[in-house]
Amino acid sequence: MSIDIDQFDFGFTAVDEDELEVVQKQTQKLESTAGKAEEVEEKLNSLYNAILPLLSNLKANPEKDYIYWPKRTEKVEAFEDLIAGIIK
C-alpha cells in the first residue's frame, strides 16, 4: 500500500516569524492605504458634485452678455466654506 503525499496537502506553508511579521505589516499598510484612497475619492466626488451646478448655471445662457447674480458675495463665501469643509 503506497501513500500519496499530495493527498495530505492541507493548503498551508510553514513560515518563520520574520516572514510572518513582514506579511502582517504589508497587509496593514495595504488596508491603511486603501482606506485613505477611499477617503480621497469621496472628497473628490464631493468637490465635483459641488462645483458642477455652478458651472452648469454659468453656461446656462451663453447668448447673454451679463450674469444677474444677486447676493453674489454671500453665495460665493458660502460656496468657499462648503469647499473648505469638504477638503478638511
DSSP letters, 20-54, are: HHHHHHHHHHHHHHHHHHHHHHHHHHHHHHHHHHH
Assess whether pLDDT exceeds 90 at residue 21: no
- The answer, yes or no, to whether residue 5 has pLDDT greater than 80, is no
pTM across the whole model: 0.60
Most confident range (mean pLDDT) of 9-13, 63-67, 69-73 is 69-73
pLDDT band at residue 18 under the 50/70/90 scheme? confident
Question: Which cell goes with 53?
Answer: 451646478
How far apart CA 87 and CA 50 sit, in angstroms, is 12
Q: In this predicted model, what pLDDT tens digit does every residue of 29-47 receive, in sequence order? A: 888 898 899 999 999 999 9
The pLDDT value recorded for residue 35 is 87
- Nine-digit cell at 78? 458660502
Altogether, the residues listed in the chain come to a count of: 88
